[in-house]
Amino acid sequence: MKSVILSRASVLAGRLVDGVRALQAGKPGRYLASFALITAAFSAAGQSVTLQSGKHERQGAIVQFPVDVAAGEYVLKVAGQPPINVTIDATRTATSLVNMPAGATWAGRLEPLGDYSGPMVTGQRKGDVVKFVVGGKEALTYQGEKSPLPQGYKPEFHRGGYIHSVMTPAGVLVTDDYPPNHRHHHGVWSPWTKTEFEGRHPDFWNMGDGTGGVEFVAIDSAWSGIASAGVVARHRFVDLTAKPEPKYPLNETWTVRAYPQAKMGQPVNVFDVSLVQTCATEAPLKLLKYIYGGIGFRGNREWDGAANLKVLTSEGKERAAANEQRAKWFRASGLVDGKTASIVVLCHPSNFRFPQPLRVHPTEPFICWAPPQMGDFEITKDTPYKAQYRYIVADGEPPAEAIERLWLDYAEPVGVVVK
């Protein structure tokens, strides 16, 4: 152990020398990068991590756990196993992908990765838009700032703070934006519909009515990495019925993470959306019983029409039968430019009212997780609303058995102990 520490120290001393030389040469960025690497290395040194696969075999399972270690790239070294790459992001969350047999327990140590020139998942930020590239191709885009408003649309429809575009590994687009028959719809977005706030009734979903909406506030962080890329962004819900000035009932934080491609017979793109909504005032926001409201998905415009979109849920229900029914996951699929493409959305079991009910539109490619279908509830100062979903985007149509395996990895993840 002593020789390992001395070896690491000698490497880091070299990094420090490089950083000082960079500073003397008028390149403070390189100095700060070297200093950050040194800090991260010493904070991670000797940190032990134990993985427990549980009763399921794991194939490329996403593993996440909180750490008190600086952001950066690391490696988990387990005796008798290939090194496991770990990305620690700006939220101090560690992410890795593992293959483990059922019933396995692996113990290892977390160490800085050092030099690396292999594939990455990248979050390419331009202003307040972050494009995620996986496998060398665009996988999805988080649209923070307001997107271009189509000609002829009222300004009330203009917004940001959502995801579009979402692409399959082959580059097929599966989402839509500002569709003409529902101009307030976007690829993935999360407003509420029938609400009560301070005795008023703002509608944050139907923006064209001018009573409410959701505004982008800021991007707090964005990162790229070997095991994940992501963005943390803030939104706020605006009540336009309040006079003389609008009021803001809710603050919302989105965390979006994209991962290396998974395998379901062929590569698939995978990303997560986690959201937290907290009261911005002392007054609660009441969510009243309604058929839709929550996190929604709007599919490619070619899927318009009752015959052009196929839906399957975890309960084996298809499009018409799935409406207003609860599910653990759904798959939406159809032809785009003559090619079959699909998106699968997994609902995490920690979500409020899991398994959540769905709104499945009968003729348009719109599906929403809608907990208000089951009755009224409130978001208060003491009870924020939290939800998380995993999106799997595929060329072709993944079978239900393969989807169920990925749902189990999501719902019953690899156990992690950090010391």
Q: One-letter amino acid identity for 350?
A: S
Tell whether 215 and 150 lie within a shared domain: yes
Rounded Cα distance between 140 and 400, Å, is: 24
Element spanning 196, H or E: strand 195-196
Residue 417 within a domain: no
> If pLDDT is split at 50, 70 and 90, which confidence band does 133 have?
very high
Which pLDDT score, from 0 to 100, does residue 16 have? 43
Tell whether 310 and 359 lie within a shared domain: yes
DSSP state of 149: P
Residue 140 within a domain: yes
- The model carries a pTM of 0.90
Range of the domain at 110: 46-115
Tell whether 182 and 40 lie within a shared domain: no
Tell whether 79 and 175 lie within a shared domain: no
**Locus of tokens 């002829």:** 152
Give every CB contact of residue 378 below 8 A, 6+ residues apart in sequence: 284, 285, 286, 287
Residue 292 within a domain: yes
Residue 418 within a domain: no
pLDDT of 33 strictly over 80? no
Tell whether 89 and 171 lie within a shared domain: no
Residue 39 within a domain: yes
Tokens coding 363: 């003729």
Rounded Cα distance between 115 and 226, Å, is: 12
Beta bridge partners of 390: 272, 346
Give every CB contact of residue 32 below 8 A, 6+ residues apart in sequence: 19
What percentage of residues in the chain have a pLDDT greater than 70? 89
Query: Phi/psi of residue 24, each to 5°?
Result: -65, -30
**Locus of tokens 């018409």:** 320
Domain count, the chain: 3
Last residue of a domain, one of 115, 131, 156: 115
Tell whether 390 and 266 lie within a shared domain: yes
Tell whether 194 and 293 lie within a shared domain: yes
Tell whether 142 and 31 lie within a shared domain: no
Tell whether 111 and 176 lie within a shared domain: no
Distance of CA 25 to the CA centre of its chain: 41
Q: How many angstroms separate the most distant Cα atoms in the chain?
A: 70
> If pLDDT is split at 50, 70 and 90, which confidence band does 25 have?
low
Which pLDDT score, from 0 to 100, does residue 47 have? 86
Distances (CA, A) of 366 to 35, 71, 80, 319, 405: 49, 37, 48, 11, 25
Whether 25 and 373 have beta carbons less than 8 Å apart is answered as no
Tokens coding 300: 């490619």
Tell whether 8 and 130 lie within a shared domain: no
Residue 139 within a domain: yes
Mean pLDDT in residue range 377-404: 98
**Locus of tokens 């100062």:** 381
Last residue of a domain, one of 115, 138, 172: 115
Whether 340 and 396 have beta carbons less than 8 Å apart is answered as yes
Q: What is the tens place of the pLDDT at every residue in 211-238?
A: 999 999 999 999 999 999 999 999 999 9
Rounded Cα distance between 176 and 270, Å, is: 18
Beta bridge partners of 363: none
Rounded Cα distance between 270 and 258, Å, is: 6
Mean pLDDT in residue range 83-88: 97
Residue 419 within a domain: no
Last residue of a domain, one of 115, 130, 146: 115
Tell whether 328 and 189 lie within a shared domain: yes
pLDDT of 97 strictly over 50? yes
Tell whether 241 and 261 lie within a shared domain: yes
Mean pLDDT in residue range 51-72: 96
